[in-house]
Amino acid sequence: MRILAYIFRRLLAAIPVLVGVSILTFLISHAIPGDPARLIVGPKASKEAVESIRKEHGLDKPLPVQYVRYMAGLVTGDLGQSIRNHRPVTRDLADYFPATFELTLASLVLCLAVGIPLGILAAVRRNRLADHVARVVSVVGVSTPVFWLGLMLLLLFYRHLSWLPGSGRLDVTSAPPADITGLYVLDALLAGDWALLREAASHLILPAFCLSYVYLAVITRIVRSSMIAVLGQDYIVTARANGLSAARVVLKHAFKNSLIPTVTITGLSLGELLGGAILTETIFAWPGMGKYVVDSVNSLDFPAIMGFTLVASAAYVAINLGVDVIYAFLNPRIRY
């Protein structure tokens, strides 16, 4: 129960954070030189046409008034209307967020499924072959630019080998599965449509791998170093001296202790994955928020930029809260 009260307190504390973020984003996006109205009507349009667009979107009002209007809408769940496509921003985000979320989730699973075992192996067999392999994988991962990696993956697996599709979430001719979670792989699975599941999954592999690689490297290194630190602890000697098997010593006694720094880094990575999918989405023509926000920035679509930033910040806050809650389960010394 104490943990529920804690979660509630943290959610309350998130409100001023999000208000702060909204003010900052509002100021910065409006400080960018340029006039969205002019961008809409084109360079040859008359002054009157520009003015009428400005009026239509309330851009002729002073900044504080614009902000208050925006916030008044926000309280009722209205994120405004996109200047670019005249659709409500909430509708756009609902369309694009699931794609990004699916990509991020797949990358995270990949990061953890490969990074944790690789890190443990590297720690247990320190300075032996497994460790060197893990080190090379990590260094390459950290130092490979995402755009280059994405292009190389496309070149190899799409163009030359034709093993995997190169763009989008599904083939152009396929219809998406019934919308349950918005994650195509999961929805296809729930619908029992194996062909579609295969298709959605094969579309997901390259972008997910591309997006995860940097964080995979980071997680591998963190797991390795925290594992090495934990394996030097007295209670590990105790566990060995008690006749427990090596697997039990490593996977039970050492692993749970090494998870705390790993969870911290995973939380940070997840936040970055969500916000950092822009390059990957662009390369693989993945219809997610990253691509949406780039287009919005290019056309100075303030409501869209604001909407994206707020959603991303809320996700950050939620992830950090999740991390803190997991800490309490991992470490009995942490009490909220």
Partner 1 sequence: MADTPLLDIQGLTVSFETYQGRARVLEGASLTVNRGEIMGLVGETGCGKSVLSRAILRIIPSPPGHIDGGRILFEGTDLLALPRKAMRKLRGERISMIFQEPMSSLNPVFTVGNQMREVVRAHRKASRAEANAVCLEMLSAVRLPEPEAVLSAYPHELSGGMRQRVMIAMELTCRPSLLLADEPTTALDVTVQGQILAILAELAAAENLTILFVTHDMGVVAQLCHRVAVMYAGQVVEVADVASLFARPTHPYTRGLIASIPGRATGGELTAIPGSVPSPIDPPPGCRFHTRCTQAVTACRRAVPEMIRVAPDHSVACHLCPGGRP
Residues contributing to the site for partner 1 (CB under 8 A): 233-235, 237-245, 248, 253, 256-257, 330-333
Q: What is the 3-state secondary structure (H, E, C) of 223-289?
A: HHHHHHHHHCCHHHHHHHHCCCCHHHHHHHHHHHHHHHHHHHHHHHHHHHHHHCCHHHHHHCCCCCH
Nearer to partner 1, 264 or 331 (CB): 331
Residue (of 92, 90, 71, 93) closest to 26 by Cα position: 71
- How many other β-carbons are positioned within 10 Å of the β-carbon of residue 52? 14
* DSSP structure string for 132-150: HHHHHHHHHHHHS-HHHHH
Nearer to partner 1, 120 or 196 (CB): 120
Quote the least distance from Cβ 240 to partner 1, whole Å.
5
- Spell out a b/e string for 279-293, using b for 16 or more CB atoms within 10 Å of the CB, else e: bbbbbbebbbbbbbb
Cα–Cα distance for residue pair 303/44, rounded to 1 Å: 25
Instruction: Let me know: does 95 contact 179? Beta carbons within 8 Å.
Output: no
Quote the least distance from Cβ 253 to partner 1, whole Å.
5
Cα–Cα distance for residue pair 306/6, rounded to 1 Å: 29
Quote the least distance from Cβ 261 to partner 1, whole Å.
13
Quote the least distance from Cβ 259 to partner 1, whole Å.
9
Nearer to partner 1, 21 or 263 (CB): 263
Quote the least distance from Cβ 332 to partner 1, whole Å.
4
Nearer to partner 1, 167 or 331 (CB): 331
Nearer to partner 1, 203 or 253 (CB): 253
Quote the least distance from Cβ 128 to partner 1, whole Å.
10
Cα–Cα distance for residue pair 236/33, rounded to 1 Å: 60
Nearer to partner 1, 245 or 298 (CB): 245
Cα–Cα distance for residue pair 177/33, rounded to 1 Å: 42
Nearer to partner 1, 16 or 332 (CB): 332
Nearer to partner 1, 104 or 258 (CB): 258
Quote the least distance from Cβ 324 to partner 1, whole Å.
16
Quote the least distance from Cβ 335 to partner 1, whole Å.
11
- How many other β-carbons are positioned within 10 Å of the β-carbon of residue 75? 7
Residue 49, CA distances (Å) to 27, 33, 38, 45, 54 in order: 26, 20, 9, 6, 9
